[in-house]
Chain A
């Protein structure tokens, strides 16, 4: 049997979910018997592949670039997993929502900058007015809350997904876990 194609994606989050994923340690070898990692911040593929079986998405949608990416990911993935609280609730990135992107950029690039005070407008993607969870843009198949979900949660959830066993998410994790 050929292995499933696994992608992991990093949108507006801290990469803590990816760290927790790697915290599976030797259990990654067990997972590797079932999947090939075809796209991830930790592999050197630049373009999202055409056909992915399982996509783990960390982070909220905060910029025009995130929005473009999540739509592409959805179009090319069979199973989309919202990984962690940022992807599911907006979490810490969404704390700017009551304030708006203008004052945030002003604070970071003007008020707190000692030299070259300027708000970046080229190369870096434009921020959306509010940070939103990924399911407000695309259909999500599995929600794995936690900040981050623990390595045990990742192991139990991913093994269930790759082997087709039933998955009881609330028994494993919760918001803020």
Chain B
């Protein structure tokens, strides 16, 4: 006998869809071919709603909701592409570009960067806000990998994959607000940390913040698709 499934029906961008209770708006939208842009979300990792790119409107509420961490409810009416949302998404991307030094042309991830391709898909041709030009370190102490804080957008995918999937929890976030930094162990050099050298953080990093030293100066695509597969195989065990 199959378990009773609690089905919710809702409307996303005018399309009637059904979902299981507890699913997020993002999951349901993607299952139904409705694309909501995301940056900190990655299939296979827990969601934290850090980047705010996936914000959507829910009828009856003036607030915006991050689709990746908002559960669906019966009768919900969601709008994902309004002009207001597109404006906010562009502004979020602009803020990310100004916050650190994203010099696409000389970045190891040029052409394979999620921030860069989102800027293009969201119609961003320039940044209206002044750049902050912070002086940030590059840690190349690890024998295989480098962390370039100039390119970090604090999505925390590295933190989550290291803690949730690798189980090492080498990465975490230090400081608050604009001073936040991703650190290894207790702000030790990466090469002297308890890193297991698995490289998962490098593969899930959406920008050129974490990269493989052997790929410098060449095409550096990343392959985060291993995650859902790895999770599935572990569950099947």
Contacts and interface: CB of A to CB of B under 8 A. Distances in A.
Contact of A170 (B105, B120, B135): B120
Interface residues of A, number: 27
Contacts of A97: 101, 131, 133
Interface stretch (A47-55, A85-93, A113-121): A85-93
Given A97-B131, A174-B120, A175-B119, A92 B103 contact: yes
Interface in A84-136: 85, 88-92, 94-95, 97-99, 130, 132-133, 135-136
A135 B126 CA distance: 9
Interface stretch (B2-10, B46-54, B106-114, B153-161): B106-114
Contact of B123 (A89, A135, A144, A170): A170
Contacts of B103: 89, 91-92, 94-95
A176 interface: yes
Contact of A147 (B104, B119, B125, B128): B104
Interface string B165-206: 000000000000000000000000000000000000000000
Interface of B: 97, 101-107, 110-111, 113, 116-117, 119-121, 123-128, 130-131, 133-136
Interface of A: 82, 85, 88-92, 94-95, 97-99, 130, 132-133, 135-136, 140, 143-145, 147, 169-170, 174-176
Given A89-B131, A90-B131, A135-B128, 16 more contacts: A89-B104, A91-B105, A92-B105, A92-B106, A95-B106, A98-B134, A98-B135, A144-B125, A145-B126, A147-B105, A170-B123, A170-B124, A176-B104, A176-B105, A176-B107, A176-B110
